[in-house]
């Protein structure tokens, strides 16, 4: 793989862009501004991954010597400049989107997000829990920026509400999963001298926080159906992730082993993906689809 493509971690960047595509389906809006929005999220995520590698170069020289920078395929200076260029492209695209939807709000969200990505790589990543919260917040931003673009283009407060809801859903569940992953990696992180939340405070407090986040997210699940924003098929599909969420919270308990944390992390990821399918299906008028068929 080309080093400049590898360093942006295209898989992660694509997954972030999928959040925007999901909002396009939910909002039934497929015009140019939402396409540009997906590109913004892809480019900025790639830039964030690149600047992460820049600041992690000494760690990667030991743990990941085959990464583009420690392997010498990209110089540190070129990688840094590459990240800045990608961030710049993301900001310019956000200004174009703001022009297209006749609102400054897309840029108002993208520019702070870019700054947060940089600060995360430079400072926040090493701060216990702060780094986890930052990652979760940026994940939620992917939904909100898409919702803002669609809302500005269509003057729909409904889609803005949905995007905030999905953003909070993604934030809470991502934060829970990030904390669980830290508990899973606790022994390896100790050897590397990391100062993660579970290393500093043990597993009990992180477990309680993760369980609370999972339960809160589970309680959020019926809201869009109760408010008649999503159809009944949303709740039918959501039964599966709700069961997985609650089972994960029960399995986690207060002093989980690394094996249990690994299973919980995997289960939460699967449940989130199923939830996203439910969001898409729930946003369509199923009766009209059947009549069309």
pLDDT by residue for the chain (293 residues), tens digit each? 589 999 999 988 999 999 999 999 999 999 999 999 999 999 999 999 999 999 988 877 877 788 899 999 999 999 999 999 999 999 999 999 999 999 999 999 999 999 999 999 998 888 889 999 999 999 999 999 999 999 999 998 999 999 999 999 999 999 999 999 989 888 777 776 778 889 888 889 999 999 999 999 999 999 989 988 899 999 999 999 999 999 999 999 877 888 999 999 999 999 999 999 999 999 887 544 444 34
- Model pLDDT, residue 284: 85
Closest C-alpha to 251, from 221, 211, 212: 211
Rounded Cα gap, residues 149 and 147, in angstroms: 5
Task: Measure CA 19 to chain center.
Answer: 8
Rounded Cα gap, residues 215 and 234, in angstroms: 19
CA atoms within 13 A on the CB side of 171: 16
- Model pLDDT, residue 185: 83
Q: Is the pTM of this model over 0.75?
A: yes
- Model pLDDT, residue 287: 46
* Residue found by looking up tokens 């926040």 in the block: 124
- Model pLDDT, residue 1: 58
- Model pLDDT, residue 255: 79
Packing angle, helices 130-154 and 32-55, rounded to 10: 160
Taking a C-beta distance cutoff of 8 angstroms, is the pair 3, 74 a contact?
yes
- Model pLDDT, residue 292: 38
Angle at 117 between CA 71 and CA 11, to 5 degrees: 55
Rounded Cα gap, residues 79 and 57, in angstroms: 11
Rounded Cα gap, residues 110 and 38, in angstroms: 12
Q: Which two tokens stand for residue 75?
A: 């110089």
């Amino acid at each position: 793989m080309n080093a400049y493509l590898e360093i942006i971690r295209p898989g992660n960047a694509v997954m972030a862009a999928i959040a925007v595509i999901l909002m396009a389906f939910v909002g039934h809006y497929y015009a140019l501004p939402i396409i540009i929005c997906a590109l913004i999220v892809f480019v900025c995520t790639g830039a964030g991954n690149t600047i992460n590698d820049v600041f992690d170069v000494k760690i990667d020289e030991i743990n990941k010597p085959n990464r583009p920078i420690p392997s010498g395929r990209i110089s540190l200076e070129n990688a840094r400049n590459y990240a800045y260029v990608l961030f710049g492209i993301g900001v310019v695209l956000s200004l174009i989107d703001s022009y297209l939807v006749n609102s400054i709000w897309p840029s108002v969200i993208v520019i702070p997000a870019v700054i947060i990505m940089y600060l995360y790589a430079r400072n926040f990543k090493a701060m216990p829990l702060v780094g986890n919260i930052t990652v979760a917040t940026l994940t939620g931003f992917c939904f909100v920026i898409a919702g803002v673009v669609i809302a500005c283009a269509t003057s729909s407060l409904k889609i803005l509400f949905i995007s905030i809801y999905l953003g909070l859903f993604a934030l809470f569940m991502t934060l829970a999963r990030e904390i669980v992953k830290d508990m899973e990696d606790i022994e390896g992180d100790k050897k590397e001298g990391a100062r993660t939340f579970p290393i500093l405070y043990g597993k009990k407090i992180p477990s309680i926080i993760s369980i609370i986040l999972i339960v809160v997210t589970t309680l959020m699940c019926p809201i869009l159906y109760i408010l008649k924003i999503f159809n009944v098929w949303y709740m039918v599909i959501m039964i599966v992730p709700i069961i997985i969420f609650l089972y994960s919270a029960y399995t986690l308990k207060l002093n989980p082993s690394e094996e249990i944390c690994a299973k919980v992390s995997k289960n939460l990821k699967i449940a989130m993906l199923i939830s996203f399918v439910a969001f898409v299906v729930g946003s369509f008028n199923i009766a009209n689809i059947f009549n069309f068929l």
